[in-house]
A and B are shown apart, each in its own frame.
Chain A
Amino acid sequence: MKTEELIKNIVKAQENIELQLGLERAVVNFSNAVAKVLDRFPDLVKLAEYVRIVKEKVLTDLDYYIDQTIKNVNATGAYAYFTNDRGSLLKIIDDIVGEERKLIIKAKSMVTEEIMLREYLSEKGHEVYETDLGELLIQIAEEKPMHTIAPAIHLTKERAAQLLRKLGLPVNREMKHEELVLHVRKFLREKFIKADIGISGANAIAADSGTVFLIHNEGNISNVVTLPPVHIVITGVEKIMPTFKDAIYQVMVQSAYAGLYPPTYVNIISGPSSTADIEYHRVYGAHGAKEVYVILFNGGRIDALNNPVLREQLYCIRCGRCQIACPIWGLCGNIWGGRVYGGPMGIGWTAIIEGIENAIPLSWFCLLCDACREVCPVKINIPRIVRFLRTKT
């Protein structure tokens, strides 16, 4: 996007009263939530420092950790892949999903936004549903997520009801929040049961055990990863942590700095479900997924390792706290962003996944006030990324 176009969109965002109200509320609620968590569990700050050190270690030796992850995912009985780009990733997905029309349910995942997976599968004729409520609203609205954790913060209850009606849900503008949620629950329950395939990202993945970690509050992800016979995990290579323990630490830190600690649910998945309760004969596909696929995605990340300034963005655990602290993000949300990622973290991520050229215009809106770096759990020097991009103008 050009600077002029960005300016126009950002100016327009100032007149969008719903967005302004949503952002204002999000900033207050999110900041208070994180402050409370860190006040109650002060050790998490130390844990965040530890996570940064571990991430540095992983990125210094990424090839090794990718190999380890693949080896150990395979050892769990799941199938591991590594892909460089969107094209090869979609080919793997095609092979798993097949030609026949499938019912596919999704957990919210930013990597799948990067590759526009939902749109791709829908075009192929599959029936695809996001199961995170915010992301489902984004799907119906055909918009982009406005925040990493809270994608639909800019939509009012009335707008949400209007969108859900498009799905055929018997809801109206006058209904309470609780009623809307109940209708979505009923609607998705049926999809969970009938779905052929569940697709999720990963909040972390342990190299030593091949285990995938997912945190959530809605309970949707537990259903996505266990009810359909097939579960596909797609995640960026930067989500690899050396050990099971380190991966747990990372998801603890992520949920804390998103103000959602303790997380209501943590799914820990090491391969397909199985039972050996009849004559100690191992049968795959007991109550959970019968087949599990784990796809590690490069998508520009490995190239970014060679850039001493940009590589720091790969430490990002996507808590979204930098967005909440940023004065500019508070005025326009992810409208100040690339195709997928917005706000302070969105500058570096856009450079990584869409190229430096596309991130330069974003850099010009930064105040260099350093608030993002201050609140970042892993202390990413985002202002330095901004300065780097500005020198490339």
Chain B
Amino acid sequence: MSAVKDILDIIQETTMKRGAPIPLPIDVVTGWVKDLHIPKGGDTVLYTGQLYQIVPYINRYVRRIESVSTAELKLAKVAGKFLDISMFIGKPSQEEVERQHSIIRNIAKLLMKSGVRFGYLYEDDAYSGVLLHDLGLEDVFVNHARKIYHEFKKYNVKNVITIDPHTTNVLRKVYPEYIENFDLDVTSYIEILAEKEFNNVGSVSKNVVIHDSCIYARSENIIEQPRKLLSRIGITVFEPLRNKALTFCCGGPIEVLFPELSRKVAETRIKELRVIGKEIVVACPICYANLSRVAQKDIEIKDLSYYLTLGLVGEDNED
């Protein structure tokens, strides 16, 4: 178990000390807000859980892991205790970071356009701890979850708007298992938008193939909402062989431990999607990263918010 154990140790140590498996610079976490003038705190907040922001770092981490030996990993583990894990990983390009920022900005603008009033926690927009839960680091996870919950309470937050499937699920289904009297109302931005009426809906005449996120489709029953939203703006949604509740994983969740196997799963999925079409819509940063890793040049993968912004916001898309 040594390699797995090494990676677990690194993740555990870093999260305990620095609040996230890969501690992000504050401008990477909050930099997307720019001139959107989002108030701090409030009844309802947009919570990123840092997942979109962390993805460029995970990409680098995986590339590093793919190329290092176990001995180096051990060294990094020792180093991780004293230094910054980010030094082992290095910095992703500004372009990658900005790409993620533009997705979050698009989501925020969509919510504003739909009339939702919300705040943001800025430097307290912390990591949700979902990876700890998935890796079986239960004690560390529970402590972490309590801390995050306490932050929400400190700001008197009542409603949390999430923007990715993993954070949505861990907050809505997992936190309540561990936190007594958990009373936050957690809703994905996709669910919110699907319920809203929009004026001046633009028509985006495009054909896209939809890749359902496993978590949204199977654990959160977010299946029809993205389809409804896409078709409302004139997009024709094509269905792959395995879709909706029977969707096929992108391979992302094991990329941290077994990058090669993760890549194979992604290849299987891309092969199935590209038979249907070359433009693929995803609603999860992990799906985006892992499918992009193996997608051929003629394939375009875009976040759901990109299309929705084209049709609903009616201003220049930032992506």
Contacts and interface: CB of A to CB of B under 8 A. Distances in A.
B4 interface: yes
A11 B260 contact: yes
Interface string A108-136: 00000000000000000000000000000
User: How many B residues are at the interface, by size bracket?
Assistant: 20 to 34
Contacts of B268: 327, 330-331
B3 interface: yes
B166 to A, nearest CB: 10
A119 B20 CA distance: 52
Contact of A327 (B3, B245, B260, B265): B265
Nearest to B266: A327
Contacts of B251: 327, 367
Contact of B261 (A4, A331, A390): A331
Residue among A330, A363, A364 having the largest count of chain B Cβ atoms under 10 Å: A364
Nearest to B269: A327
A365 B252 CA distance: 12
Contacts of A369: 214, 218, 249, 253
A365 B133 CA distance: 15
B257 interface: yes
B168 to A, nearest CB: 14
A14 B249 CA distance: 18
A358 to B, nearest CB: 12
B135 interface: yes
A86 interface: no
B261 A371 contact: no
User: How many A residues are at the interface, by size bracket?
Assistant: 20 to 34
Interface in A260-299: none
B264 A14 contact: yes
A208 B135 CA distance: 45
Given A10-B261, A327-B249, A369-B253, A374 B218 contact: yes
B273 to A, nearest CB: 14
A361 B136 contact: no
A393 B253 contact: no
Contacts of A393: 1, 4-5, 8, 136
B246 A367 contact: no
Interface string B122-145: 000000000001111110000000
B246 A374 contact: yes
A371 B1 contact: no
A387 interface: yes
Interface in A353-393: 360-361, 363-371, 373-375, 387, 389-393
Interface string B252-272: 111001101100110011000
A7 interface: yes
Contacts of A364: 4, 254, 257-258
Contact of B264 (A325, A331, A390): A331
B219 interface: yes
B136 A387 contact: yes
Contacts of B258: 7, 364-365
A327 B269 CA distance: 9
B214 A370 contact: yes
A33 to B, nearest CB: 15
B138 A391 contact: yes
A363 B5 CA distance: 13
Interface in A7-43: 7, 10-11, 14
A4 B1 CA distance: 7
Nearest to B244: A374
Contacts of B288: none
A97 interface: no
B57 interface: no
A35 to B, nearest CB: 9
Contacts of B260: 11, 14
A331 B254 CA distance: 14
A319 to B, nearest CB: 16
Interface of A: 2-4, 7, 10-11, 14, 325, 327-328, 330-331, 360-361, 363-371, 373-375, 387, 389-393
18 contacts: A4-B3, A14-B264, A327-B249, A327-B251, A328-B254, A328-B261, A330-B268, A365-B258, A367-B249, A367-B251, A369-B249, A370-B219, A371-B247, A375-B246, A387-B136, A393-B4, A393-B5, A393-B136
